[in-house]
Structure formats: structure tokens, C-alpha cells
Amino acid sequence: MAVSTSCLGKNGIQLCVERWIQECLQSTSFSVQINGTPTGYFSPSRGLRQGDPLSPLLFVLCTKGFAAILRKAIADKRLGGVKVAPRAPHISHLFFADDSYLFLRGNLHECENLIEVLNEYEELSGQRVNLDKSVVCFSKNIARED
């Protein structure tokens, strides 16, 4: 299942709506036809169907939860974000439909803290970071540590 109940509850979703969303996620089943003959029903192992109308809502709820975890880490000085200009505000993250960009100082301390934040989000949401689709980039101004 793509969303845990704690992710929904912490976003202020009332219990009855939370149960409705969970029922929609858990009650889905499929059947395929082979040579015109329907097969038995089976349930998906995880997630929503492509184009499911619940997808945007769940994306917003999970993204909101992830942003809250990031803001807390910044308030606790575990992460710092970056500034693109001297008088610009700090930027810690940008979220898009299927991408997340996280900005932090290029030091070991913040990298370790980011791993803790990602683990916390994974535990809360039931989602997992796909490391095969993840990239780490450093500014050319970052000194390389051996």
C-alpha cells in the first residue's frame, strides 16, 4: 500500500475520510482476459493505478508530510538549505509531480541528517526512496574530502 494511515492522520484527515481512502486502496482488484476468457481476480501488490483520481490527493498529502519533516529538520538546524544569492532566502526543497529536489550544504553532517530525515519519511509514509533513480550533485565550490 502506498500510503500509511499515519501519513493521512497527521495531515488532518478525519478518520472517516481516512478509512474511505484506505478502502479504495485496499479493495482494488483486477481480472484480465486471455484469448477472450476472463481469468480470476487478483489484487495489486502496491500503489494506485495510473490515472487514479486519488493520485493527486495522495501526492499532495505525502508531499505535505515530507515538507513538514524537512521544515522541522531545518528548524532544529539538522539541515540548512542553500542560498542562490546573498540576499535570497534559503531553499531547502522543491517538489514536482514525480521529482523531489533537496538542497543542503555539502558536508558529511548534513548528508547523515538527510538520510535520517528520509528514513523518518519512509517510516511515516510507507514509501521508499528509489536509490537507483536518486542522484547526488555537488557544487564546484565544494572541497572534496578524502
pLDDT tens digit sequence for 44-61: 766 666 777 777 777 787
pLDDT of the residue at 105:
86
- Round to whole Å and give the CA distance between 67 and 64: 5
Residue 141 has pLDDT above 80, yes or no: no
- Sketch the domain layout of the chain as residue ranges: 5-133
Which string of b and e fits 74-110 if b means at least 16 CB within 10 Å?
Answer: beeebbbbeeeeeeeeeebbebeeeebebebebeeeb
3-state secondary structure of 30: strand
Take residue 80 and report the three cell numbers written for it.
540548512
pLDDT of the residue at 33:
86
pLDDT tens digit sequence for 61-89: 778 888 989 999 999 999 988 888 999 98
Residue 1 has pLDDT above 60, yes or no: no
Q: Would you place residue 145 in the very low, low, confident or very high pLDDT band (cuts 50, 70, 90)?
A: low
Q: Report the predicted TM-score, pTM, of the whole model to 2 decimal places.
A: 0.68
pLDDT of the residue at 31:
78
| pLDDT (average), residues 29-35 | 82
pLDDT of the residue at 52:
76
Residue 4 has pLDDT above 60, yes or no: no
Residues 33/39, Cβ–Cβ less than 8 Å = yes
Q: Would you place residue 113 in the very low, low, confident or very high pLDDT band (cuts 50, 70, 90)?
A: very high
